[in-house]
Chains A and B, each alone.
Chain A
């Protein structure tokens, strides 16, 4: 075995620094959770705009989706952190600065809202109009229909795709190290700077990400399958 290979598989150094690395991983989870909630809520709002009856709303929804789906998350994180505060600051006439964590959540939340919007929209449009008319005929109002008839079905339909998108979002959280959010990658870089042994640290980080993502995604899929399958013939 080559030296480099042996080194990269020796994870004792990774284990030694487990505490600081674990706290980094927790940051990934925080950033993930907050940006996932942002992405889902903003994505739902954009999807509702896209299926709206009047075209100005549809147009705003479409611009939103196209803009954020096609913006590289790397650039968005940097832009939101360094440029957006300047723009907003100029508007309100005060110096503004975002906490890196806030910038990370806004950037990732909005980028992924573009993807979720499309998933929501496809899910909403797949609901037969008859389900909605049956509800209207019972005297249900439009908001009630959205929450009780449409969204519960949309969530079940979009779940497999949403899990894939959430996996991508979790992976994307690693780029927040760019703006000094002390996540796992950031801490790995810090430790590397003092220890000068990047191989086991990066290998450990890769394995950790893999394990966390795989366990969570598989868990969600297993738990949701029975719940989902009931509604299909």
Chain B
């Protein structure tokens, strides 16, 4: 197998004004692997995900998708130059993103939400896009809701549609930003179940989550972020079983019952 990681993050930095949120973060996400990212609120988890697909422009460092640099190119004189939005958009197609607030487009049906980007961005015709869309809805077990409007669905169903919408772009990797944090506990499981199935199918994923159960038994690696730095990193057995960092131990003891 080709060893190029699906996502490579090198010394990523991000400041908002004088507030330094990411202070140099580096990690790889191998193809087909699941990386869970945990950490206290405000530690920079969302900012990190959003810098990967350039919803926020990093202040420094690099992101590579399948080996291709995202957002920046270095010109002949060695200067880093931000790429035009069209280039950033082209690479964003390869990264599906799922938000805490679902962010479905309320004026489109469920199927409409799923096929919008394949049609308008990938230029697929409606028939092919609809077939693909039905397939993606089947993967999140919502085939029967294709013609409903999002407002008629429960939060868990809406989030599963959002997952199907991201899958429909057939991305190289999926980014999840606390996908279950705005759901009632009884709706959390149906979303986590779908995510476990995706993980089992070999989908490359970065998952920011407070669901320690998921992080422990669905992921290949766990990152603990603290104050804009990776404080602890390793396979789940190690991070959960024998964390080296005191802060990580404290965080886990607070979140593990």
Contacts and interface: CB of A to CB of B under 8 A. Distances in A.
Interface in B115-164: 116-117, 120-121, 149, 151-152, 162
A137 B121 CA distance: 11
Interface in B93-107: 93, 95-97, 99, 101, 103-107
B103 to A, nearest CB: 4
B92 A136 contact: yes
A230 B151 CA distance: 8
A233 B102 CA distance: 15
A215 to B, nearest CB: 28
Which of B90, B92, B95, B120 has the most chain A CB within a 10 Å cutoff? B120
Contact of A139 (B105, B165, B169): B169
Contact of A230 (B89, B95, B120, B149): B149
A232 to B, nearest CB: 6
Contacts of B105: 131, 134-135, 149, 153
Contact of B151 (A139, A149, A233): A233
B120 A134 contact: no
A137 B107 contact: no
A133 interface: yes
B97 A130 contact: no
A133 B95 CA distance: 13
Given A231-B106, A231-B149, A138 B169 contact: yes
Contacts, number: 76
Nearest to B49: A137
Interface residues of A, number: 23
A231 B151 contact: yes
A139 B106 contact: no
B82 interface: no
Interface string B169-211: 1000000000000000000000000000000000000000000
B77 interface: no
Contacts of A93: none
B121 A138 contact: yes
Interface of B: 53, 55, 85-86, 89-93, 95-97, 99, 101, 103-107, 116-117, 120-121, 149, 151-152, 162, 165-166, 169
Contacts of A156: 107
Interface in A179-233: 230-233
Nearest to A138: B117
Contacts of B103: 128, 130-131, 133-134
Interface in A60-114: none
Nearest to A149: B105
Which of A135, A137, A153, A233 has the most chain B CB within a 10 Å cutoff? A137
A-B pairs with the 8 shortest C-beta distances? A138-B117, A130-B103, A137-B97, A134-B103, A139-B93, A139-B92, A233-B151, A231-B106
Given A138-B116, A152-B107, 12 more contacts: A130-B99, A130-B101, A133-B99, A134-B103, A134-B162, A138-B96, A139-B89, A139-B91, A139-B92, A139-B93, A139-B169, A231-B107
B151 A232 contact: yes
Nearest to A152: B107
5 contacts: A128-B101, A135-B105, A138-B165, A144-B121, A153-B107
Contacts of A142: 85
A140 B89 contact: yes
A18 interface: no
Contacts of A128: 101, 103
A130 B55 CA distance: 11
A148 interface: yes
A140 to B, nearest CB: 6
B101 A137 contact: no
A144 B120 contact: yes
A143 to B, nearest CB: 11
